[in-house]
Amino acid sequence: MLSVQNLEVVYQDVILVLRGVSFDVPKGQIVSLLGSNGSGKTTALRAITGLLDTQNGDITKGKIFIEDEEITNAQPSKIVQLGIAQVLEGRRIFSELTVRENLRLGGFTANDSIDENIERVFTLFPILKDRDKNTAGYLSGGEQQMLAIGRALMSNPKYLLLDEPSLGLAPKLVQQISELILEINSQGVTVLLVEQNANMALKISSHGYIMETGNIVMDNPSSKLLQDQDVQEFYLGLNAEGTERKSFKDVKHYKRKKRWLS
């Protein structure tokens, strides 16, 4: 299990962004972490994978565990070695390199099995095999996302953290990516799925956490969240129509609800 306990994160010594965030990602499951833009999702992932340093961010409270090992403030390379891989927001790939070169770079920690892993990624994403020697920058958005995920898989992770893999993709591709996430999970990889697309994430995850301004405001089995009226209204229904999301705090019975949650 990946366990985040009471995590507080501050940027530039003064900007408090996570205010005591706790969540668990049990082995073998897909767990989603939802929330609108700026709620702190990426920051939570950075804290887990040791990337806060690069952003002048610090963990000021709380702990992170992988299985029984504490990894709070561990070096990024150590975290990769322990089996955690992250696909960064905005599908960052090396656009001047070929597909295969991108994959090789992702496999530097698992040097012995690079060719084997490339074949595994190509089996999962046949389209990448067809583009093997193509320059990554010329791939479509969906193919670049697959390449970013494939690159993360090159380190043979036990835990895969995905930061908004559906962002900017057409509905058909979102569907394809979500099927791929299910396939990766069925091969034994535990997934923490960060999404603004609550509908997609809740359909494939077993449990969901909802973040708002640095707090987890709700968590439940995904099937329950999918049926929850507030989640429907604020993350599913309105979002589908493209209308601006409101805050849970605007819901009249928020306070009542909050009491159930605490």
Specify the DSSP class assigned to residue 197.
-
12-20, 101-109, 144-152, 245-253 -> range binding ligand ADP (CB under 6 A): 12-20
Cβ neighbourhood burial of 68 (10 Å; 0-12, 13-18, 19+): exposed
User: Nearer to ligand ADP by C-beta: 150 or 214?
Assistant: 214
Cβ neighbourhood burial of 12 (10 Å; 0-12, 13-18, 19+): exposed
Among ligand ADP, Mg ion, none, the one that 239 touches (CB under a kind-dependent 5 to 8 A) is none
Interface positions, 38-97, toward Mg ion (CB under 5 A): 41-42, 89
C-alpha span between 99 and 155 (Å, rounded): 16
Whether 136 and 192 have beta carbons less than 8 Å apart is answered as no
Q: What is 15-26 written as a DSSP string?
A: EEEEEEEEEEE-
Cβ neighbourhood burial of 9 (10 Å; 0-12, 13-18, 19+): buried
Among Mg ion, ligand ADP, none, the one that 39 touches (CB under a kind-dependent 5 to 8 A) is ligand ADP
User: Nearer to ligand ADP by C-beta: 35 or 107?
Assistant: 35
User: Nearer to ligand ADP by C-beta: 102 or 197?
Assistant: 197
8-16, 71-79, 135-143, 170-178 -> range binding ligand ADP (CB under 6 A): 8-16
11 in contact with ligand ADP (CB under 6 A): yes
Question: Partners of 159 in the beta sheet?
Answer: 84, 190
What would the x/- binding string for Mg ion be over residues 19 to 48, using CB under 5 A? ----------------------xx------
Give min distance, CB of 166 to Mg ion, in A.
13
Q: Are strands 159-163 and 190-195 parallel, antiparallel or unpaired?
A: parallel
Binding region for ligand ADP (CB under 6 A): 11-12, 15, 17, 35, 37-43, 55
Binding region for Mg ion (CB under 5 A): 41-42, 89
